[in-house]
Amino acid sequence: MAGSVGVGRAAPRSSPKRYAGTDPPLSLAGPTMADLQRTAELEKFLVEAGLYEGKEESAKREEVLSEIGQIVKEWVKQLTRKKGYSEQLVERANAVLFTFGSYRLGVHGPGADIDTLCVGPSYVNREEDFFVTLNGILAEKEEVTELQPVPEAHVPVLKFKFRGISIDLLYASLSLSVIPADFDISQGSVLCDVDEATVRSLNGCRVADQILRLVPNAENFRTTLKCLKYWAKRRGVYSNITGFLGGVNWALLVARVCQLYPNAVPSMLVSRFFRVFTQWQWPNPVMLCAIENDDLGFSIWDPRKNPRDRNHLMPIITPAYPCMNSSYNVSTSTLRVIMEQFQFGNKICQEIDLNKASWNALFEPFHFFEAYRKFLVVDIVADDDDDLRLWKGWVESRLRQLTLKIERDTKGILQCHPYPCEYSDPAIECAHCAFYMGLSRKEGLKKRGQQFDIRGTVDEFMREIGMYSLWKPGMDLAVTHVRREQVPSYVFEQGYKKPSPTMHANQQEQSDGDGTLSPDLEGQLKRKYDSDGDGLVELLKSVKRASVSPPGDETPPHHGTSVSKVICDSPVKLVSSALCSGAQTSPSHDDVTFEPTALTSSPHGSEDTSASGTSCAAVGAVVLADESSKLVNLTCDVEVDTVQTMEVHTTSECVAQKDGTKLEGIRSLASRNCAEFLEREVLAENMHLSGDEVI
């Protein structure tokens, strides 16, 4: 019963003589003494990096899985009795818990979650029995915290923590009245008479088992995979949800390299990994075995028959039927970043092989905020941590769409690098976080004065975000633009010095403050700009809650005629700080004047439609220099542009406080009925910074 809770992991493959894969190995060479020495150094590095959990935590995981397994068995028995089945069937009723993902493959580290699958009988369904009844049972358990059902996900899942260990629990209802305790999930018959969601739920376990069968040496595979997953996280390319590669993608790539070099040890495999995939001709697919077609009616990855499959940029095919592309989320922009990071890894590994570098050099963190000069910031706020977890999960799942839309609407010239890390200001005690996206022009395309208007792109993204069915008052969102010098210090790693822009003494003094908005600036909106003469993205957005209204209820945007003059003196702050503390941005050397905008009603119908308590966020003009993102050999010697400011304005109800005391934060915004936060005003104006064509 491979993969079940009782086993947890597969035994190491002991026969290196059996070679698998779609092609013969590239080399059968074994390790030299130097390779063995480098492998020992690599393994020592991984241990010192804390990538292996202790015996106590491993034992705790086993106990937790056993307890969850008992809960689901009792749940099935209760439902069997409740549905009126015989006592004989109640006695035999059963559910089996399987593991998959990093835990199943044996590459999980301390604090990692456990991907689990509950397999139950045909009469226990997912919609009511799993997401309602079992969810209710878990909610009553003291051991269970942070319970979050996600029934609308591509693979429906219950997320929770059990005694502090994160669990992702899937459910599959099979066409059997009784699930035997020794059930073999790898057999093809388990896919008979099941729906697509069940197939996707089952395939996590089936793929993990197949990977372990297809690699020549499981222990070498595990060490190499653990190493490369850690590398990917350090270099910012580990995240399936934002368009990079997730756990199963990395596992499949590493498994393919293990097939190509079956006698290699981990240090060799890491080096060969980068050598192979820097030269890989995408979109040629990576496959561990030939694609199977069991004629059960499920769609398999086949670009000859499926037009959608032809658009996949980096196909990495799962080895279990129905074979699918596990990396369909990869976009043009994220593929570029992945390949640049592969080049970086290959360069360092070549130096390691020549004894010119150590393993530490390979795992140097990627300095994202030094690689770009312009950023989009997606700020997310909610009333409390539970709401933020739900709201953030939804927004994060849609960030990939924003990247794709920017690529589409700028014909691939404007490149967007979503960074798979979330940030929050530790000085602000409220539920908030932010995601950053680096912006750059496609390398080799230089056109002075070229202007990208992506306001409509952001409009479309905001409308999609507004379709969230579990939206609650207080769940707010803002998309803004900042320059490198406006990025707050708390996003930088400890010990890494943020580059400082040149500014006047009084501006520097103000920037060290808490960003509290002075009462005379309430309700005002200003945007500054400067030009480096190399290009411009015009993106100015006032965001209010009506932007998330359902079709038919959306308030039409107002164009450019409703803006007012304003001069501001407070320091620049990001919108996460601004929303929490009423911060505003400071002026630079140029002032742009606007008129006040009218505020309209909430899209959700149940809220007060008054303008009181409104919080709006402006997205300023994004000026792009003629530079590609510096993904390799980054330095701190960067050119600092004139500060471009971005502002957030709030009304006195959200801002004014007696005696200058600190604001309550984002919770006060929601509780004071900021009904207009997400309605977007399109503040349109044409800016010609050169005589060249503006698009």
Name every residue whose Cβ is closer than 8 Å to that of residue 314 and which is 6 or more positions away in sequence: 282, 283, 327, 330, 335, 338
Candidates 115, 129, 309, 387; catalytic one:
115
Interatomic CA distance for residues 684 and 540, integer angstroms: 7
* Complete DSSP assignment for 202-238: HHHHHHHHHHHHHSS-HHHHHHHHHHHHHHHHHTT-B
**Quick one: DSSP state of residue 127?**
I
Candidates 238, 261, 423, 529; catalytic one:
238
**What number of residues does the chain have?**
695
Candidates 102, 511, 588, 668; catalytic one:
102
**Quick one: DSSP state of residue 580?**
H
What ranges make up the beta strands (E) of 500-613?
Answer: 536-538, 541-544
Q: Are strands 114-120 and 165-173 parallel, antiparallel or unpaired?
A: parallel
Candidates 60, 113, 166, 386; catalytic one:
113
Q: Are strands 648-650 and 536-538 parallel, antiparallel or unpaired?
A: unpaired
Interatomic CA distance for residues 685 and 489, integer angstroms: 32
Interatomic CA distance for residues 105 and 125, integer angstroms: 28
**φ, ψ for residue 191 (rounded to 5)?**
-90, 0
Q: How many Cα atoms are found within 13 Å in the side-chain-facing hemisphere of 445?
A: 13
Interatomic CA distance for residues 585 and 606, integer angstroms: 33
* Complete DSSP assignment for 74-111: HHHHHHHHHTT--HHHHHH---EEEEEHHHHHT---TT
168 counts as catalytic: yes
Nearest Cα to Cα of residue 173 among 155, 198, 153: 198
102 counts as catalytic: yes
What ranges make up the beta strands (E) of 500-657?
Answer: 536-538, 541-544, 615-617, 622-623, 648-650
The SS3 of residue 615 is: strand
229 counts as catalytic: yes
Interatomic CA distance for residues 482 and 691, integer angstroms: 25
The DSSP H or E segment spanning 367 is: none
The SS3 of residue 682 is: strand
Candidates 229, 374, 392, 526; catalytic one:
229
Interatomic CA distance for residues 60 and 167, integer angstroms: 13
Whole-number Cα distances in Å, 631 to 235, 236, 369: 10, 11, 11
Query: Which residues is 416 bridged to in the sheet?
Result: 439
Place of tokens 């080799």: 444
Q: Please list the active-site residues.
A: 102, 113, 115, 168, 229, 238
